[in-house]
Amino acid sequence: MTRTPPLVLATVALVAAYAIGAVIAVAGGIASVAEVFGNGSKTSAPFFILVVELLAAYAFLRGRIAGAWVLVAMSGLSTAAFLFDGDFNADGLATGHVVWQAVEGWLAVLVFSLAVTALIRRRRRPAAAAAA
């Protein structure tokens, strides 16, 4: 039985959170469907980020370390946007929206840390095997 890596599970959770955030944005009148797909909203990432993150997680699952590099870049970008773009706790957002933003931010940091950990472990593995 093969175990799914935590990085893949966390990435799927992050993408699901972004998708739910898009539904919240459209249902709550924060953004239109076109805005959600094109540029994202205050409660979701742009659609292309969801696609790239899922593809990167799949690549990592298939043993490609490049997937972890892409996830470091994308989740790092998402974390920076969360912290500095001014959308977090923006005017007009209800408490539930801000809580959802915090969940997405936490998941982005989780994916980032798991991807960095995967890169560190992957880089050390050949040296450790050679020393043994």
pLDDT at 130: 55
pLDDT digits (tens, 9 = 90+) for 69-115: 999 999 998 888 878 876 776 777 888 888 888 899 999 999 999 99
CA distance 27 to 19: 12
Q: CA-CA distance, 118 to 56, in Å (whole number)?
A: 13
Q: Which whole number is the average pLDDT over 31-54?
A: 89
Confidence (pTM): 0.85
Q: Which residues contact 57 (CB under 8 A, 6 or more apart)?
A: 7, 8, 11, 12, 15, 67, 71
Q: Is 95 helix (H, G, I), strand (E, B) or coil?
A: helix
Distance of CA 27 to the CA centre of its chain: 22
